[in-house]
């Protein structure tokens, strides 16, 4: 998946300007950047939720705008930030909605549908919750159910906008481990927006720093995450050391008070 001279915006305001971006297949890519820099807008356009002003998003060699909504939904799933579930819907029913792009008026619960939904429920470990209403679940459980819905969609690519928002640290790690397992075991391409730089560095194979309407830097976290980049992209002073356990970059921020 890649973008060519992609320009995004609302009315006259340009948010992303002539961006060329390559997102490696079968890898985990993480978009980082300050609030309002256009990460979410970029992710939306990758999923065809937003029409580019200029340029294009290329998915498997074809311009994504020239394909039907359903065809795109069979190749790419997106989980927006803080999604909301229909009132009273149960876990199984919500996950089953992920099968929509494969269904028609005639075919609404095929053997494939059933198998993929069961598999998604098992992979995300929510099979014991199937008959519970989604509204009753805790934040961590709910996020796993949403991920199960995108898995039921059976796509090669999964896009996630801040999948760890509002989760405590333990559940953040749980969700990121789940995504990494899916990437390693099934070869799914994962593209997500994350705010926590240290977790982003640990889980990302490929990292894109979005700044000033374009990709300020892209590459392996160890190669691109430098003190200079953090200063420029986030306007934040920090020190970067190697994580003592994982070896990935570890960013220790400091505000006005300088360390001795």
Number of neighbours of residue 212 by Cβ within 10 angstroms? 12
Is 43 within 8 Å of 31 (Cβ atoms)? yes
Q: Which is nearer to another protein, 49 or 222 (CB)?
A: 49
Q: How far is the CB of 126 from another protein (least distance, A)?
A: 15
93/214 with CB nearer another protein: 93
Q: Using CB under 8 A, which of 98, 163, 221, 249 touches another protein?
A: 98
Establish if 80 lies at the interface with another protein (CB under 8 A): yes
Q: Given the complex with another protein, which of 69 and 185 has the nearer CB atom?
A: 69
How many Å apart are CA 141 and CA 144, to the nearest integer? 5
Phi, psi of 143 (to 5 degrees): -65, -40
Contacting range for another protein; rule: CB under 8 A; set: 94-102, 168-176, 186-194, 237-245: 94-102
Interface residue with another protein among 31, 59, 113, 151 (CB under 8 A) is 113
Its sign, for the CA torsion 144, 41, 100, 137, is positive
Segment 116 to 145, residues that bind another protein, using CB under 8 A: 131
Among 72, 225, 229, 251, binds another protein (CB under 8 A): 72
Q: Closest separation between CB of residue 156 and another protein, Å?
A: 15
Judged by CB under 8 A, the residue of 12, 66, 111, 255 near another protein is 111
In the complex, least distance from residue 60 CB atom to another protein, rounded to whole angstroms: 16
Q: Which is nearer to another protein, 47 or 207 (CB)?
A: 47
Neighbours of 84 (CB within 10 A): 8
Question: Which one among 12, 36, 61, 105 touches another protein, defined by CB under 8 A?
Answer: 105
Rounded to 10 deg, the angle between the 111-123 and 169-186 helix axes is 130
Q: Do 28 and 206 contact (CB within 8 A), yes or no?
A: yes
Strands 157-161 and 189-193: parallel
Q: How far apart are CA 171 and CA 166, in angstroms?
A: 9
Choose, by CB under 8 A, the member of 89, 173, 199, 222 that binds another protein.
Answer: 89
Is 36 within 8 Å of 28 (Cβ atoms)? no
CA distances from 121 to 86, 93, 126, 152 (A): 19, 11, 5, 8
State in angstroms the smallest separation of the CB of 191 from another protein: 13
Q: What gap in Å lies between CA 23 and CA 87, rounded to an integer?
A: 36
**Binding region for another protein (CB under 8 A) out of 1-9, 66-74, 182-190, 237-245:** 66-74
Which residue ranges make up the site for another protein (CB under 8 A)? 44, 47-49, 69-74, 77-80, 83-90, 92-93, 97-98, 100-101, 103, 105-111, 113-114, 131, 149-150, 153
């Amino acid at each position: 998946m890649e973008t060519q001279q992609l320009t995004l915006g609302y009315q006259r305001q340009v948010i992303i300007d002539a961006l060329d971006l390559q997102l490696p297949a079968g890898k985990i890519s993480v978009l980082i950047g300050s609030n309002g820099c256009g990460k979410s807008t970029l992710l939306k356009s990758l999923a065809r939720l937003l029409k580019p002003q200029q340029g294009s998003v290329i998915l498997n060699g074809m311009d994504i705008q020239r394909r039907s909504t359903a065809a795109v939904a069979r190749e790419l799933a997106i989980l927006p930030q803080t999604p909301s579930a229909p009132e009273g819907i149960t876990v199984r029913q919500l996950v089953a909605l992920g099968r929509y792009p494969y269904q028609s008026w005639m075919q609404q619960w095929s053997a494939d549908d059933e198998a993929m939904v069961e598999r998604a429920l098992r992979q995300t470990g929510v099979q014991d919750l199937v008959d519970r209403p989604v509204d009753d679940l805790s934040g961590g459980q709910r996020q796993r159910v949403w991920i199960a819905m995108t898995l039921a969609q059976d796509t090669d690519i999964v896009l996630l906008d801040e999948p760890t928002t509002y989760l405590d640290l333990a559940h953040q790690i749980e969700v990121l481990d789940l995504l990494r397992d899916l990437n390693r075991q099934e070869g799914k391409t994962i593209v997500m927006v994350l705010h926590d730089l240290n977790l982003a560095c640990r889980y990302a194979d490929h990292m894109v720093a979005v700044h000033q309407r374009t990709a300020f830097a892209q590459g392996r976290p160890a190669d691109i995450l430098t003190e200079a980049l953090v200063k420029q992209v986030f306007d934040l002073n920090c020190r970067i050391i190697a994580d003592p356990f994982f070896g990935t970059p570890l960013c220790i921020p400091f505000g006005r008070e300088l360390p001795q």
